[in-house]
Structure 1
Amino acid sequence: MLADSISFKDTGYFSNLILDYLEQKQEVKHLYNRYPELENFKKQIEEKQSEYNEEHRKILVDSLRAQYHGIEVSEATDANLNSLAQTKTFTITTGHQLNLFTGPLYFLYKIISTVNLTKKLKASYPDYNFVPVYWMATEDHDFEEINFFNFKGKKFQWNKEVSGAVGALSTEGLQEVFDLLNLELGVGSDADELRRLFEEAYLKHDTLDAATRFLANEIFGAYGLVIVDGNDRGLKRLFSPYAADELLHQHSYNAVVDIVEDLSSRGYGVQVNPREINLFYLKEGLRERIVKTDDGFVVNDTELKFSKTEILKELHDYPERFSPNVLLRPLYQEVILPNLCYIGGGGELAYWLQLKSFFNKVGVVFPILLLRNSALLVSGKEDDKLKRLEISYPLLFLKRHSFINRRVREISDIDINFDPQRAHLKNQFEGMYALAEKTDETFLNAVKAQEVKQLKGLDKLEKRLLKAQKRKLSDEVSRMTAIQETLFPNGNLQERTKNFSEFYAENGKALLRELFEDLDPLKEAFLIVKL
């Protein structure tokens, strides 16, 4: 059940750029098209419908059917695949890396947010169809970011030497990971289901992209999720005119670099800095940057080089060899999908917010951007502990030092707050200042110095008293820190560290049912879900 919620701002875990976006501040309105409110989707539908053509739909459906070849497809997903051929069907998309066994818990939140938004849109716009899409980041090449997951405080890691796009990686070597996980899962039908999922996905599929598709389809197929692999020749051909434009004119760099300067001047952090060319060259075991030279193009750290004519011919003959990077991938997605909205985390939306002027330049509709749901999952036992300790959910989001200090002040049998003493001291010095103003400046400075010294003395005494109370209440402090560490491992959000398997082992399919019930994609708050 949904136990509580707190504002994203009060969590302390979101950037100023994202918080200002959520508040729709004037300073960031030029960075997006429409804000994610139900009434704004009508114009987004009309705009996308006028841009997206039937030829793209046919190629998209044909490519997706080929990608699903040999996979058992649910009735809901099959219906959505068929629906994509219709002009009144649109997608809501989220994307994620091919993390081992789904990686961090928020993988679930992304997809559930996406599915739930399609339901809300269908209720508001019954004449249209809305399909939830999971975009697999098969062309990424940062293996160290995806080769592990955590289960009950233990890290399960897949170690191997790799190169090239991760989607094509062989799953060889994952038997050892499974054997270690198997020892930790325990007994029961839910633990057996986790064993089956891992074994079927990673030990019975040859590549990481096939394993990830199977796993996501097993978990979410019943909800109609459509899984897209962008590493597809037919889909890349649709994108090839934009890839050619990138090679010849570098519009992405020229547009985004201005936004980067704008964001920096306003004090916002910059998520991604553009390169002159934001394309990689992709072949088996190879994914390297394409670099423009005085007489053509080279592939970084290789002997490959092309003249202008040669690289355009290569793009025409082998569009699948041209892989968009993090800044160009959003454009690729929006070109090939009839998409209305992208759902992502704070870091993802931060780089999407750098791209609107680039989309305008190349004439592609910029999607609505929605911050995915975030949640803290709390078991019944953990909830009982929090109640006994009289710890509210918002208090848990404080950093460890502030959390302990706040609670010690609250539960102490003496007043640790010296603010009344500070006020009294300042009041006494007001008379001294009045006297000093009648003398010379050196005496006035002496009074100021003495006030500062005595206020610092009070600060030190307050800290010593707080430290003494911590020792006196050490048992209470130990219990407080233990429950916070359980819910915020190593001071991080639970959703960024723990894996779904830890909660599935305890709750089974009820975990998904609860999350689908509680996660409202349009509720702008960090949710507390009691399992």
Structure 2
Amino acid sequence: MNVIPQALRKGSALGEDYVRGQHAQELYEYDLRDGQSLRRRAEWLDASRQRPRVDRNSLVEVLGDYNARYNGSPEVKGSLEKLKDERTLVVVGGQQSGLFTGSLLVIYKAATIIHAARLASEELGRDVVPVFWIAGEDHDWDEADHTYVLTSELEVRRLRMESWHDGKSSVSGVKVPTEEWEKAIAELELTLADSEYKAEIMELLRSELPQSLSLSEGFARLLGRLFGRYGLVLVDSADPALRRLETPMFERLIERNDEFEAAYLRAAERIEAAGYEQQAQAVEGAANLFYIQEGQRLLLYKQDGKFVDRRGTVILTKEELLERLRRCPECFSNNVLTRPLMQDYLFPVLQAVLGLGEIAYWAGTKDGFETAGMQMPILLPRMSFTLLDPSTKKHMEHYGLTFEDVMERFGSRKEAWLAEQDKLGMDDLFEQAKAEFEQLYKPVIERLGELQAGLANLGEINREKIARQIAFLQEKTKQTIARQNEAELRRWDRIYKTLFPLDRPQERVYTVFYVLNRYGLDWVDELMKIEPDLNGGHRIIEA
């Protein structure tokens, strides 16, 4: 693979500034570009024995049970064995589960976590374990139930697992019947182009997914197959056994809820004062916790000294909420502001691997970490890539297109190229005809007005009709030229839909199985051989 650095349009000003080391450092604990950050964070973790943290052996036992079911590679067992040692640290990152692992950015995030753990281990001279946090407690099914591939007809096809539930249950809590998996796999098989690797890919999916009880379980099985050999440990945030270990931290979040609320509001004020928008909105009266009742994940607020949800389904005093926590830990769940704290309670997090949007909303957690007696870890941007296949590269070179052209001005470049195919100069002739017609007809309408006012109005209507007819014929001529160049216009469309499907970066749309169908399962190993860039840059991979 040839790898080329290339700027990519990004979406978060705060995340961008953090990565560049500009203006935003006071909102975070560590400067990404400070060469001493890694050692200072490790030293803090070693020295802060009184910080809230789970029993290490209990955690490893829960992780061992979970990974034995879905991610049982010997290398993963080795990572878990290392994690028993109190000196072992963790690099963690995660994503909500998605159909067929969701988009490529999930794969790039997993690769970043593994590379970062290896590099940190080498620099510190101690074990650092990679951990992927599956956000199974999230309840936004509409974000998790689909993925995309590009068909041979140049359609960006959305593959979706149809909903059969209320949409308020956590993704890990929604049971997926075997027939739903089979339907999704069959649709993918029909959509993917035939290739020498297709049979192997379909066999992998059929061996793992139909036995999965939920979308998160299927997600874990596939990640395990793709990255287990690199020692990547998986954890589902909705795992009931994990939730029981989290009880002491939930108690702290409930008992000191007003302090945490104030901390999040302080951070929000600082973010806005620095000129940025909040990514995770801190709201007065928010408890920043969810309560799960009858399968529904309800966001809690504080009202008149009680914890309530918006609809009043749950109305509990602090004491009642704590009692329910002790009886049913799995009935509780974090939101985006408390999840980073829970992650740090469970793991000795050296670095957290995040997307730029995630880096932006983590700025709102700094004071929350301090309130909890913790410290925000080093935030690492995930690696970012665009895959450029030989055919697309060839077409871009043929039309003289750069990556920036496709990203910033594709429409105008395409229109200019099509205009060049008007060898007879028809468009110029039509523009000339329209201008000359207007010039000739204008005095006619003026004389008609002198003759009778009504005739001038009629003349104006007549002028508009003739102008529309000329424009209609001009457009038909353009369409004819386009049809004559249809094959080449399809090449233009393929270029754009390959690099920016749905007007979004490729990594945010296509599933990895679309890529594996083209290059084979070994593609993941080839990806892992690329020299890692942990500074937030974007690169083109010429496959």
TM-score normalised to structure 2 length: 0.80
Q: 2:497 aligns with which of 485, 490, 509?
A: 485
Tell me whether 1:369 sits opposite 2:379 in the alignment: yes
Matched, 1:166 2:162: no
Distance 1:406 1:183, change over 3 A: closer
- Map of 1:285 onto structure 2: 295
Alignment of 1:438-453 (within 5 A): none
Alignment-derived partner of residue 91 in structure 2 = 92
Match of 1:261 among 240, 264, 269: 269
Structure 1 position 523, deviation (Å): 4.3
Does residue 1:272 correspond to 2:280, yes or no? yes
The worse-fitting range, judged by mean Cα deviation, of 326-335 and 168-177 is 168-177
Give a deviation string over 1:59-114, Cα, whole Å, max 9, x none.
Answer: 21011122234446112111001110102211111111111111111110000011
User: Structure 1: how far apart are the matches of 2:531 and 2:404?
Assistant: 18
Number of the residue aligned with 2:116: 117
Once the two structures are TM-superposed, the CA of residue 271 in structure 1 deviates from its matched residue by 0.9
CA distance in 1, matches of 2:395, 2:99: 32
Matched, 1:108 2:107: yes
Q: Check whether the contact 2:27–2:271 (CA below 8 A) recurs between aligned residues.
A: no
Distance 1:393 1:518, change over 3 A: farther
Distance 1:411 1:47 in 2: 66
Paired with 1:265 and 1:55, the residues of 2 have a C-alpha distance of 36
**Cα contact 2:381–2:535 (8 A) shared by 1:** no
Distance in structure 1 (CA, Å) of the matches to 2:510 and 2:48: 41
| Shift in Å, 1:305 | 2.9
Tell me if 1:18 matches 2:22. no
* Residue in structure 2 matched with residue 140 of structure 1 by the alignment: 138
1:5 alignment partner in structure 2 = 5
In the alignment, the residues of structure 1 paired with residue 334 and residue 417 of structure 2 have an alpha-carbon distance, to the nearest angstrom, of 49
How many residues align? The count is 471
Q: Is the 8 A contact 1:257 1:273 kept in 2?
A: no
Q: 1:344 aligns with which of 350, 354, 375?
A: 354
- Any conservation in 2 of the 1:93–1:339 contact (CA below 8 Å)? yes
CA 1:69–1:280 in structure 2 vs 1: closer, same or farther (change >3 Å)? same
Q: How far did 1:480 drift?
A: 4.2
Look up the match of 1:438. none
Q: Which residue of 2 aligns with 1:422?
A: none
Question: Is the CA contact (8 Å cut-off) linking 1:171 and 1:202 kept in structure 2?
Answer: no
Q: Separation in 2 of the partners of 1:528 and 1:258? A: 40
Structure 1 residue 384, shift from structure 2 partner = 1.8
SS at match of 1:91: strand
Matched, 1:155 2:151: no
Displacement of 1:214 = 1.2
Per-residue CA distance 1:29-72 (angstroms, 9 max, x = gap): 11111133554211111111223589621121011122234446
Tell whether the 8 Å contact from 1:51 to 1:365 is kept in structure 2 after alignment: no
C-alpha displacement of 1:138: 0.8
One-letter code aligned to 1:136: I
Alignment of 1:295-306 (within 5 A): 295-301=305-311, 303-306=313-316
Q: Give, in whole Å, the separation in 1 of the partners of 2:86 and 2:496.
A: 50
Offset at 1:234?
Answer: 4.9
In 2: Cα distance, 1:150 partner to 1:397 partner:
20
Give the Cα separation in 1 of the matches to 2:498 and 2:69: 42
Q: The residue matched to 1:354 in structure 2 has which SS?
A: helix
Letter in 1 for 2:343: Q
The residue type equivalent to 1:56 in the other structure is D
2:336 aligns with one of 322, 326, 329: 326
Q: In structure 2, the residue corresponding to 1:203 is in which secondary structure?
A: coil
Pair 1:211 & 2:210 matched:
no
Q: Shift of the alpha carbon at 1:228?
A: 0.7
Contact 1:113 1:519 in 2 (8 A): no
Deviation at 1:203, TM superposition (A): 0.9
- What is residue 27 of structure 2 aligned with on the other side? 31
Following superposition, the deviation at residue 16 of structure 1 comes to 1.7
Contact conserved, 1:95 with 1:134, CA < 8 A, in 2? yes
Match for 1:315 among 309, 316, 325?
A: 325
Partner Cα separation in structure 2 for residue 403 and residue 240 of structure 1? 58
Letter in 1 for 2:332: F
1:377-396 equivalence runs, <5 A: 377-396=387-406
**Residue 230 of structure 1, CA deviation:** 2.1
Aligned counterpart in structure 2 of residue 236 of structure 1, from 238, 243, 246: 243
Q: Is the 8 A contact 2:71 2:234 kept in 1?
A: no
Contact 1:4/1:528, CA 8 A, preserved across alignment: yes
Aligned equivalents of 1:14, 1:307: Cα separation in 2? 41
Runs of 4+ aligned residues of structure 1 deviating over 6 Å after TM superposition are 405-413, 470-474
One-letter identity of the residue aligned with 2:513: S
Cα RMSD for the two superposed structures: 2.9
Partners of 1:381 and 1:472 in 2: CA distance: 27
Aligned partner letter, 2:20: E
Relative distance call for 1:189 and 1:412 in structure 2 (3 A) is closer
Aligned twin of 1:251: 259
AA aligned to 2:200 is E
Write the distance in 2 (CA, Å) between the matches of 1:399 and 1:254. Answer: 45
Distance 1:362 1:402, change over 3 A: farther
User: 8 Å contact 2:287–2:307 — kept in the other structure?
Assistant: no
1:335 corresponds to which of 345, 361, 367: 345
CA offsets 1:153-179 (integer angstroms, 9 cap, x no match): 211111123241110211112222222
Structure 1 residue corresponding to 2:37, chosen from 24, 37, 40: 40
Structure 2 Cα separation of the partners of residues 368 and 412 of structure 1? 57
TM-aligned CA distance change 1:62 to 1:482, over 3 Å: closer
Contact preservation (8 Å) 1:2, 1:527: no
**Amino acid paired to 1:111:** A
CA distance in 1, matches of 2:376, 2:531: 25
Secondary structure, aligned partner of 2:408: coil
SS of the residue aligned with 2:383?
coil
* Cα distance in 2 for residues equivalent to 1:310 and 1:287: 18
Partners of 2:308 and 2:102 lie apart in 1 by 35
- The structure-2 alpha-carbon separation of the partners of 1:12 and 1:473, relative to structure 1 and needing over 3 Å to count, comes to farther
- Of 507, 520, 528, the residue aligned with 1:508 is 520
* Residue 490 (structure 1) shift: 2.6
Q: TM-score, normalised by structure 1?
A: 0.81
Partner AA of 1:386 in structure 2: M
Q: Does structure 2 retain, via aligned residues, the 8 Å contact 1:400–1:481?
A: no
State yes or no: 1:182 paired with 2:199.
Answer: no
Cα pair distance change 1:72/1:356, threshold 3 Å: closer
Give the Cα separation in 1 of the matches to 2:209 and 2:340.
Answer: 28
CA deviations 1:387-424 (Å, max 9, x no partner) are 222222333321434655898999999xxxxxxxxxxx
Preserved contact between residue 59 and residue 245 of structure 2 (Cα < 8 Å): no
After superposition, the Cα gap between the structure-2 partners of 1:177 and 1:353, relative to the gap in structure 1 and judged at 3 Å, is same
Name the structure 2 match of 1:522. Answer: 534
| One-letter amino acid matched to 1:83 | K
- Going from structure 1 to structure 2, the CA distance change for 1:262 and 1:40 (only over 3 Å counts) comes to closer
> Which consecutive residues of structure 2, in runs of 5 or more, have no partner in the other structure?
151-155, 424-474
- Which stretch has the larger CA shift, 167-176 or 177-186? 177-186
The 3-state SS of whatever aligns with 2:276 is coil
Moved more, 236-245 or 77-86: 236-245
3-state secondary structure, aligned to 1:35: coil
Match of 2:370 among 341, 360, 379: 360
